[in-house]
Amino acid sequence: MSQQEENKTNSPKPFPNDNPHVWKSLKPYMNEYTKVGYIIFHVYYENDAGEKIPIENAQIVIAKEIYDSYFFSKCVRTNHLGITNPIVLPTLCTDASDVRKGNQSCVYSAIIKAPNMKRQDIHDIPVFDGVTSTKSIQMIQKK
């Protein structure tokens, strides 16, 4: 068996194929959410002098419940400047008026963790089609 064939047989199956029920449940979501927006996180803390100090390697888990306790989620980390690459997220919303109408298909939640910092939980982060938003997160040091 060639190395390429061996890699194919040993590689994990894509998530939806592992459970046909899950795939059937998620397929409408995947077909419906055809628009994408982008979020960049900037994670920092303020020192005693009031300077914003970037937090490298902060972990951000951004998630959205999409169906029957199944979640769409992504986990990313910040770079040495405390910034993530743009995170691509599915959305149905084109602008802020969708959020004002109570459209929950536009919003995500995030959990931000970093060593020696208190965990931050952020809710109702809007995501709009074709728009790149920056979300600044000030972390608080554990005492």
Domain boundaries, the chain: 36-138
Contacts by 44-52, CB closer than 8 A, 24 or more apart: 44/82, 44/136, 44/137, 44/138, 44/139, 45/117, 45/138, 45/139, 45/140, 45/141, 46/138, 52/138
Residue 19: pLDDT over 70: no
What is the pTM for the complete model shown? 0.76
CATH superfamily of 36-138: Carboxypeptidase-like, regulatory domain (2.60.40.1120)
Please count the helices (runs of H) and the strands (runs of E) in the chain: 4, 8
Q: What are the pLDDT digits (tens) for 34-59?
A: 788 899 999 999 999 999 999 999 99
